[in-house]
Amino acid sequence: MTLELSPLARLELRDARDFYDRERDGLGQEFLDEIEALLARAAESPTQFPHVRRSRARRALAERFPYQIVFFVFPDRVRVIAVAHQHRRPSYWRDRS
């Protein structure tokens, strides 16, 4: 299935990568590698991930980093609307489509 990232999700991904690069050289790439693997799993089998409560969106949790991807499943694509920290500003993305 085709995977698309919204412009805001792309920005969040880049900002998080940059944050981790400032923490330790190379850590940003490790973050990016994990999120890219998670995105691939979501594109391959999106229904394996649970729905977000009171939403049509689904979420996939990263294992090493406290991030989640939030996405919608359409017949022809998976649209990622957020690359969100799990503990900061919960549900800030709910108005996105």
Task: Give the CATH number of the domain where residue 41 resides.
Answer: 3.30.2310.20
End-to-end Cα separation, the chain, in angstroms: 18
Which structural domain, as residue segments, surrounds residue 68?
Answer: 2-91
pLDDT at 92: 72
Give buried/exposed letters for 16-31 (b at 16+ CB in 10 A, else e): bbeebbeeeeeebeeb
Question: Is residue 54 one of the residues assigned to a domain?
Answer: yes
Question: Is residue 14 one of the residues assigned to a domain?
Answer: yes
pLDDT at 93 over 90: no
Please write the tens of the pLDDT for every residue from 62-78. Answer: 999 999 999 999 999 99
Please write the tens of the pLDDT for every residue from 2-58. Answer: 999 999 999 999 999 999 999 999 999 999 999 999 999 999 999 999 999 888 999
Question: Is residue 97 one of the residues assigned to a domain?
Answer: no
3-class SS of residue 66: coil
67 Cβ contact list (under 8 Å, min separation 6): 16, 31, 35, 61, 83, 84, 85, 86
CA distance 68 to 26: 20
Question: Is residue 96 one of the residues assigned to a domain?
Answer: no
Which position has the higher pLDDT, 89 or 19? 19
Question: Is residue 83 one of the residues assigned to a domain?
Answer: yes
How many domains, the chain? Answer: 1
